[in-house]
Amino acid sequence: MIDVKHLTKLYGTKTAIADVTFSVEKGEVLAFLGPNGAGKTTTMRILTGALPATSGTARVAGHDCFDQPMEVKRAIGYLPEVPPLYGEMTVNEYLTFVGRIKGVDPAQLPAALDRTLERLSLGDVRGRLIANLSRGYKQRVGLAQAIIHDPPVLVLDEPTSGLDPKQIIEIRELIKELAGSHTIILSTHILPEATAVARRVVIIHEGRIVAEDSQERLSARLRRSEKVSVMVKTPPTDVRERLQALPGVLSVHQDDPQTFLVEAELGHDLREDLGRFVVTSGWGLLELKPVSITLEDVFLRLTQEESDKGEGDRPIVEEVRS
Amino acid sequence: MSPVGAITRKEIRSYFVSPIAYVVAAVFLLLIGLLSYLAVLSVSNRSLQMLRLQGNMPELNVNEMVFRPVFENMAVVMLLVVPILTMRLLAEEKKLKTMELLLTSPVTIADIVLGKFFAAFTIFAGMLALTASGALALVPFAEFRWTPILTAYLGTLLLGGLFLSAGLFASSLTENQIISIMLSFGFLLIIWLFGWAGQLFSDTVLGAILTYLSPIDHFLNMIKGLIETKDLVYFLAGITFSLFLTYRVIESQRWRS
Ligand SMILES: Nc1ncnc2c1ncn2[C@@H]1O[C@H](COP(=O)(O)OP(=O)(O)O)[C@@H](O)[C@H]1O
Ligand SMILES: [Mg+2]
């Protein structure tokens, strides 16, 4: 549905994205993950036909984004980083205008409008001025604008940025509902967001794709150790040394006074040995659970690998968490 | 509905909501009303004077003595008022980032430019139509010919179109409405001054070129009741040129941003 090959974009002499290649199958939800300035918006604007690439090709729904912009624009619903809203219009007036310029058949427009308002639960505010809506409602109107012409592909640029936690959950739920009937690519700089809504993740950093895979496979590929978290009631003072002495254990970290994170070699399941050891030592086993690697670990590791190679000396971690 | 139609309708609505249309029309009509009143007053004073001195009522040419100065002054009022109609047209879309919506919709840049231009032109034509009430009010009291008045209205419409297209171009250059309106004033006053400069070098080729480039002579011809191809071509070419420049600016901004 979306096919991007060797896409490069320079702003003057500054490289915004370099040799970006990825594809999205019909019905898939893909998260485009990267810190600010990674090149997410640039890639999306090229996909929507708003911005020509310097080199490379992008195809959406079988049409070339540069040679057939009209077909591509008809096939895409786009929510930019800043939702493109006219404050002086009511929700109804705005969506009617968008429907008209998106080429919705005038006879079908009232039905399309009702369907869109219904899907995004905007019925109650349809007569209100957009300027007077809350930030969360404005974002929903932005989403409504993207789906009014029922496009097969949705491109959503940081759809939850600037929202409060409750609104973020609402918008994520809406995106999950839309996932059934649309192919979706969404960008985010928030790691849990990618896991919450997308099955597949493309990680972009300083204009280059550093990883592209399903969330599980990415984790597997990057996993170098098995981790188990163990919580005990009365740990002795030399607990770390004694755990460390167990066969196969690589390292032991103390998370809080009673919780320890034990790392073992890959393929070595520690749980049985560890459980028996804690119980026979009489420390009082409270909890024992495997720690699965999160996308957060994946991301940190990938971007660290990247900077280990000498590219970019800024800490990415802080940007990601901000 | 065609994309141009959709954009035109949206802009016209916005003129009334904002409410630029009412304010501009009110100021414009007030000024034209005052100018017309002063023109009529000065003519009647003069004829009363002649009546006293010569004892008879002179033949008055209302077209020459009333309508012509009113239309001439109207052009000056338009220099000041018309840029207000165009200042926000593109500047605001860029500032609010709604240009992104237009540029990612299946409409062409030409649709956007024409839609905006037609909206501003419709508002201007509406304002102008309201001034016709002044001419109609004179019908019971004076005799005059309608043809020069109609050609003068056509000339004013074309002059307005030229000003609006230059204003739209100015609006494409910036996100700031104040800068947009200042640029419009600049463009309009410069082409206006071409006419005066042309008179200074009236025997030279340069003078002839400057005079042709200024709207003044073309407009004055039409006020006199003359419709000539060279004047029509001037206005239509000027409007097309400005709209084309606007198109190119939007296109190049798309490439750079
Ligand atoms: N119009 C522009 N002119 C020059 N540089 C730009 C422009 N837009 C973006 N950039 C640069 O390109 C890079 C990628 O930006 P962007 O695609 O907006 O990243 P993201 O959306 O991931 O935050 C950044 O370094 C940014 O500074
Ligand atoms: Mg961005």
Could you read off the pLDDT of B236-248 as tens digits, one per residue?
999 999 999 999 9
Q: Which ligand is nearest to the CA of A40?
A: 1
Hey, whose CA ends up nearest to atom 27 of ligand 1? A37
d(C-alpha A33, C-alpha A91), whole Å? 31
- CB-nearest partner of B3 from A11, A78, A101: A101
Per the CB < 8 Å rule, is B6 touching A49? Answer: no
Q: Does B230 touch chain A (CB under 8 A)?
A: no
pLDDT at A318 over 80: no
pLDDT at A265: 77
Alpha helix (H) residue ranges in chain A: 40-47, 69-75, 91-101, 109-119, 135-147, 165-179, 191-197, 215-222, 239-244, 271-281, 295-308, 316-321
Q: Does B54 touch chain A (CB under 8 A)?
A: no
pLDDT at A211 over 60: yes
Residue A99's alpha-carbon distances to A83, A289, B107, B126, in angstroms, are 16, 52, 12, 28
With CA atoms as reference, the chain B residue closest to A78 would be B104
Per the CB < 8 Å rule, is A86 touching B96? Answer: yes
pLDDT at A93 over 90: yes
Q: What's the rounded mean pLDDT across residues A301-316?
A: 49
pLDDT at B220 over 50: yes
Q: Where are the domains of chain B?
A: 3-256
Ligand 2 geometric centre to CA of A36 (Å)? 6
**B166 φ/ψ angles, rounded to the nearest 5 degrees:** -65, -40
B19-66 per-position pLDDT tens digit = 889 999 999 999 998 988 888 888 888 888 888 887 776 677 777 777
| pLDDT above 70: percentage of residues in chain A | 87
Q: What's the rounded mean pLDDT across residues A276-304?
A: 76
Q: Which ligand is nearest to the CA of A50?
A: 1
d(C-alpha A77, C-alpha A146), whole Å? 4
pLDDT at A311 over 50: no
By three-state DSSP, how is residue A204 classified?
A: strand
Q: What's the rounded mean pLDDT across residues B152-164?
A: 96
